[in-house]
Amino acid sequence: MNYQDFFKGALTELRDQGNYRVFADLERHRGSFPRATSRGAQTADVTIWCSNDYLGMGQHPDVLGAMHDALDRCGAGAGGTRNISGTTHDHVLLEAELADLHGKEAALLFTSGYVSNWAALGTLAGRIPDCVVLSDALNHASMIEGIRHSNAQRMIWKHNDLEDLEAKLARLPLDQPKLIAFESVYSMDGDIAPIAEICDLADKYNAMTYLDEVHAVGLYGPRGGGVAEQEGLMDRLTVIEGTLGKAFGVMGGYIAASAELCDFVRSFASGFIFTTAVPPAVAAGAAASIKHLKSSNAERVAHQAKVAEVRSELDRIGIPHVENPSHIIPVMVGDPVKCKFISDVLLKDYGVYIQPINYPTVPKGTERLRITPSPVHSAADIAHLIGALGGLWEQCQLARMPMAAQ
Ligand SMILES: *Cc1c(COP(=O)(O)O)cnc(C)c1O
């Protein structure tokens, strides 16, 4: 086999389908985020409209102060796995902060949210005898990979469909171990799971629940504990999983659960045991971010206000976007080539950075621009974005809402 030809061929196919991914080479500006320098073919200042640093915590003075302090106290890396010299006091404090955030006995830190899902689901489903995983059809790749890796039996239930979930649960013996895996805010459509009803079904059929709150922690609930906190449901969930890399603005992932469950995953998960711990400065920064958002609601209020403003401006000029109760605004284009074209022109001609979201991240035909407003976007930023999108909608002959409705 000619290996190079094989690689080239596969990439050409991806390009032809409009699904080839190109990085935006960015340099974020501390103190003026969402501003960044784009270092592509030409260097230009851009405004980021697709970041998961939803609240701008990646530049918060408390977070940067804690990171600088830890760096000066402890140096750069953790120096080992958690078991072999890599557990620093900052890791211990962060896990206590996370357990408290979710009202759980314990929390366990991983190098990323992806790894936390992969390792925790893989270990729980793989080691509980005869465990069946009931997995929402739109679960994130990290959950799917963890479940697959566990080799446990899995049943995929229709997205957010309680009837389908119940039908599948009812088919299983009541005493067979079951784990229902789902998300609160789904990141591409921005819809929210019926958490209380899923917990009711879990009680009825004697199942554990595993909730990915990656797109909700920091953003919802009086202390940023997520949608489950907002709805008063945290104690009903067996496992709450989250990231420190999105609204908390730093990096890392975790689960929060009972002391025994966390200790079990800590003791058996390869993806926890055999990897170097996150740097102490990262742990300290994340802890500072969580601590701040536990006591400050201002960021969450401003965030929701900006989201509402962008939605109403899109409505005013008739640009179709998916209605949902969250902070994610999916503007539907429905064509991978046009989606990429619009994104390219936005960046090149308007200094607006919105990454196109194409297959396989979303189903074919639902290609979209996923807009994530933050408290640090100004009214002028919004006006500029709306003007640019309006012009491009015209140019690409995309339907406006009143027409689309017909
Ligand atoms: C981003 C994401 C993850 C992974 O979290 P990272 O910290 O980025 O690795 C897990 N679940 C969902 C739903 C996500 O969107």
79-137: per-residue pLDDT in tens? 999 999 999 999 999 999 999 999 999 999 999 999 999 999 999 999 999 999 999 99
CB of 187 closer than 6 A to ligand 1? yes
Helix (H, G, I), strand (E, B) or coil at 272: helix
| DSSP bridge pairs for 208 | 179
Mean of pLDDT values over 205-232: 98
In percent, the amount of the chain with pLDDT more than 70 equals 99
pLDDT tens-place string over residues 336-361: 889 999 999 999 999 999 999 988 88
Pocket test for ligand 1, best of 54, 142, 278 (most atoms within 8 A of CB): 142
**Residue whose CA is at the smallest distance from ligand 1 atom 6:** 113
CB of 214 closer than 6 A to ligand 1? yes
Q: How far apart are CA 121 and CA 264, in angstroms?
A: 12
Q: What is the pLDDT of residue 127?
A: 98
Task: State the closest ligand 1 atom to the C-alpha of 253, by its place in the atom list counted from 1.
Answer: 7
pTM of the complete model: 0.96
Mean pLDDT estimate for the chain: 96
Q: Inform me whether the pLDDT recorded for 325 exceeds 80.
A: yes
Question: Distance, CA 273 to ligand 1 centroid (Å)?
Answer: 20
Q: What is the pLDDT of residue 116?
A: 98
Question: Distance, CA 405 to ligand 1 centroid (Å)?
Answer: 34
Helix (H, G, I), strand (E, B) or coil at 100: helix
Question: Distance, CA 315 to ligand 1 centroid (Å)?
Answer: 29
Question: Distance, CA 114 to ligand 1 centroid (Å)?
Answer: 5
Residue 181 sits at φ, ψ, to 5 deg, of: -110, 125
Candidates 289, 357, 252; CA nearest to 63 is: 289
DSSP 44-93: EEEEESS-S-TT-GGG-HHHHHHHHHHHHHH-S---SBIIIII--HHHHH
**Residue whose CA is at the smallest distance from ligand 1 atom 8:** 113
pLDDT tens-place string over residues 297-310: 999 999 999 999 99
pLDDT-derived band at 406, boundaries 50, 70, 90: very low
CB of 343 closer than 6 A to ligand 1? no
Structure tokens at 41: 């073919």
Q: How far apart are CA 77 and CA 54, in angstroms?
A: 27
Asked if 246 is an active-site residue, the reply is yes
CB of 113 closer than 6 A to ligand 1? yes
Question: Which residue in this structure is represented by tokens 């659960």?
Answer: 257
Q: How far apart are CA 246 and CA 338, in angstroms?
A: 28
CB of 111 closer than 6 A to ligand 1? no
Pocket test for ligand 1, best of 111, 116, 117, 185 (most atoms within 8 A of CB): 117
In percent, the amount of the chain with pLDDT more than 90 equals 91
The catalytic position among 178, 246, 291, 340 is: 246
CB of 114 closer than 6 A to ligand 1? yes
pLDDT tens-place string over residues 246-278: 999 999 999 999 999 999 999 999 999 999 999
CB of 212 closer than 6 A to ligand 1? yes
User: Cβ atoms within 10 A of the Cβ of 216, count?
Assistant: 28
Q: Inform me whether the pLDDT recorded for 405 exceeds 50.
A: no
Mean of pLDDT values over 34-57: 95
128 DSSP assignment:
S
Question: Distance, CA 226 to ligand 1 centroid (Å)?
Answer: 14
CB of 146 closer than 6 A to ligand 1? no
Residue type, 249: G
Pairing mode of beta strands 132-136, 43-48: unpaired
Q: How far apart are CA 381 and CA 306, in angstroms?
A: 11
Q: What is the pLDDT of residue 41?
A: 79
Q: Which residues contact 278 (CB under 8 A, 6 or more apart)?
A: 78, 91, 109, 111, 251, 252
